[in-house]
Amino acid sequence: MKICHVVGARPNFMKAAPVVRALTEQENGQQVLVHTGQHYDVSMSDVFFQELGLPEPDVNLEVGSGSHARQTAEIMMRLEPVIVETKPDLVIVYGDVNSTVAAALVCSKLLVTIGHVEAGLRSFDRTMPEEINRLLTDQVADLLFTPSSDGDENLLREGITPEKIHFVGNVMIDTLLRLLPVAEARNVQAHHQVKAHDYGLVTLHRPANVDDPAVLRMIVDALNDVSAHTTLLFPVHPRTRQQLTRLGFSALHPRLRLLEPLSYLDFLALQRTATFVITDSGGIQEETTYLGVPCLTVRENTERPVTMSLGTSCLVGRDMGQLRKHVQSILAGAWKTGSIPPLWDGHAAERIARIIGSL
């Protein structure tokens, strides 16, 4: 069997790594890795391949940045001949980025079987580009691997036949569990001059939060206030960096420390011993839930509801008063402890490999 994995953006890499490994261990035929080049900086791509032990991509489509239409179309145009030439029996796509939907559309027209890892998640907010990517990818995929049972329910409601849906658990947690000991050995806290459980960690990159100067300013003002109480480490995504530079943010509190994007291992180590995390990422809501670290999610909704119902995450939306209040509660030691969702056990990719092996 020939299996082609298509990845493109930072959050894809930690999901693909365990699936590639599990399929390799199963020795079930040949694997081909295609990188679309949606993310291309060393800090957004290369370092993840090294740390996650992903093989060098067999093909890099080098599409780079662009508007949604341009980026998606470029990926489709450049991927089609690769699929025609390599003739895979199965193409696996990951998550909800533009590379995911572009590859799914190409393969569905070429009648190639599609597996979608992290299927079924829904924010029910169609203003998010990722929600459109999720809806369309799941409609054309043949094997839908869900990380939580809400994914199964969403897919069934959308008319997907039950035979296509496989509740396998969360592959991100496979990677987290494998690499946590490696991350912990790196002493990243000392490098950043923070002590364990004595700092907060921040990530922001959603267009809804960073592209509108008024919204970004409101969030940065709140972060400034929070940093009066504790150090905040803020690795800045390139999109956010551009906006901050454009707006000329200067009067930041000295304890609000802007950093370059961090590698997987460094970020994981810093999450593990953070007092709390403030984020608008999807994956980080999951990682903090697994680690039992309080997570304040700067979004109005989430496609990962188990991180709220079972985990340690709380949606604060745009309410910066809530954010300040919740930080005070966390610093006072009052926050839910949470529990780990079913099948977030480090074996999701093995389950995927077994299902593929049984085809």
Q: How far is the CB of 212 from ligand UD1 (least distance, A)?
A: 14
The answer to whether 292 contacts ligand UD1 (rule: CB under 6 A) is no
Q: How many residues bind ligand UD1 (CB under 6 A)?
A: 18
Q: Enumerate residues 189-218 that contact ligand UD1 by CB under 6 A.
A: 205
CA distances from 336 to 292, 313, 316 (A): 9, 9, 15
Task: Give the integer Cα–Cα distance in Å for 286 and 283.
Answer: 5
- Exactly one of 36, 98, 148, 312 binds ligand UD1 (CB under 6 A); that residue is 98
Site for ligand UD1 in 56-95 (CB under 6 A): 65
Rg from Cα positions in the chain:
20
How far apart are alpha carbons 329 and 335 in whole angstroms? Answer: 7
Binders of ligand UD1 among residues 228 to 247 (CB under 6 A) are 237-239
Stretch 22-61 residues interacting with ligand UD1 (CB under 6 A): 38-41, 44
Cβ-contact 13, 6 below 8 angstroms: no
Is 326 catalytic? The answer is no
| 121 touches ligand UD1 by CB under 6 A | no
Which residue number, 40 or 249, has a Cβ lying nearer to ligand UD1?
Answer: 40
Q: Cα–Cα distances in Å, from 331 out to 198, 229, 238, 275?
A: 9, 9, 30, 8
Residue 132 contacts ligand UD1 per CB under 6 A = no
Q: Is 97 in the site for ligand UD1 (CB under 6 A)?
A: yes
Residue 206's contacts (CB-CB under 8 Å, 6 or more residues apart) are: 128, 280, 298, 299
Task: Select from 103, 20, 108, 30 the least CA-distant residue to 352.
Answer: 20
Sign, Cα dihedral of 129, 134, 139, 143: positive
Tell me which of 35, 116, 205, 237 is the catalytic residue: 205
Is residue 227 a contact point for ligand UD1 (CB under 6 A)? no
9 contacts ligand UD1 (rule: CB under 6 A):
yes
CB nearer to ligand UD1: give 203 or 312.
203
Using CB under 6 A as the criterion, which residues of the chain lie in contact with ligand UD1 when the complex forms? 9-11, 38-41, 44, 65, 96-98, 129-130, 205, 237-239
* Active site positions, annotated: 205
